[in-house]
């Protein structure tokens, strides 16, 4: 099994026997359903598509709240309708996490790119301004990729080699060390 889908519940902590504390993020991973199997012959690469969070009133074109594709080596091991659960994660020590980060709206230079602010007194009109942003008549424009004010957050963020602390198959819960991107209730992809 190459991966799993879940929802972020929030953060808590786990106390060890020696008194140390580990901060963890809890992820609820109810069983996902295999909705499509892709093979080298039909699609050019082997993969499976997992459906997560079935809709109460499925439509003709949409039956799940989210669909995600996972590459596999042997697609013939899976069948349409198979349930993927957290059971196989018991032996896994590290996982890869991907999620959409929290959106923070339109942000300025200082908040978005950590620019330093100008002088705050003596009548300065340069408190939260960017300073010089381009050259003169040549090239006569601002280069692409310049760090400027704009939309912040709401981007796909991936974390590699995140320790998996605990797996609870009865409650379909995963405890992952540290923080996971995204808001509470956000969709999280777990790969290994």
In this structure, are strands 150-153 and 83-84 parallel, antiparallel, or unpaired?
A: unpaired
Summarize pLDDT for 129-145 with one digit per residue, the tens: 888 888 888 888 988 99
Cα first-last separation, the chain? 9
CA-CA distances (angstroms) from residue 57 to 53, 61, 65, 68, 72? 12, 12, 11, 20, 30
At residue 188, the pLDDT reads 96
The pLDDT score that the predictor gives to residue 125 is: 87
Domain boundaries, the chain: 3-103+156-191, 104-127+145-153
C-beta separation of 118 from 126 below 8 A: yes
pLDDT digit of tens for each residue in the chain (192 aa)?
Answer: 589 999 999 999 999 999 999 999 999 999 999 999 999 999 999 999 999 999 999 888 899 999 999 999 988 889 999 999 999 888 999 999 999 999 999 999 999 999 999 998 898 888 988 888 888 888 889 889 999 999 999 999 999 999 999 999 999 999 999 999 999 999 999 998
Domain 3-103+156-191 has CATH 2.60.120: no
pLDDT of residue 1: 58
pLDDT digits (tens, 9 = 90+) for 65-99: 999 999 999 888 899 999 999 998 889 999 999 99
**pLDDT in the model for residue 138:** 86
Q: In 10 A of CB 102, how many CB atoms?
A: 15
């Amino acid at each position: 099994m190459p991966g799993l889908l879940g929802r972020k519940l929030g953060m808590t902590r786990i106390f060890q026997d020696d008194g140390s504390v580990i901060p963890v993020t809890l992820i609820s991973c109810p069983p996902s359903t295999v909705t499509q199997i892709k093979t080298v012959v039909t699609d050019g690469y082997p993969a499976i598509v997992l459906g997560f969070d079935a809709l109460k009133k499925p439509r003709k074109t949409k039956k799940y709240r989210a669909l995600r594709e996972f590459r596999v080596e042997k697609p013939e091991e899976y069948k349409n309708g198979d349930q993927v659960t957290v059971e196989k994660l018991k032996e896994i020590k590290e996982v890869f996490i991907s999620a959409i980060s929290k959106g923070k709206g339109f942000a300025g230079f200082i908040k978005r790119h950590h620019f330093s602010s100008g002088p705050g007194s003596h009548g300065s009109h340069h408190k939260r301004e960017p300073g010089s942003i381009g050259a003169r008549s040549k090239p006569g424009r601002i280069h692409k990729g310049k760090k400027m004010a704009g939309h912040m957050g709401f981007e796909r963020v991936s974390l590699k080699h995140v320790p998996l602390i605990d797996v609870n198959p009865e409650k379909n819960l995963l405890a992952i060390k540290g923080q996971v991107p995204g808001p509470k209730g956000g969709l999280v992809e777990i790969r290994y």
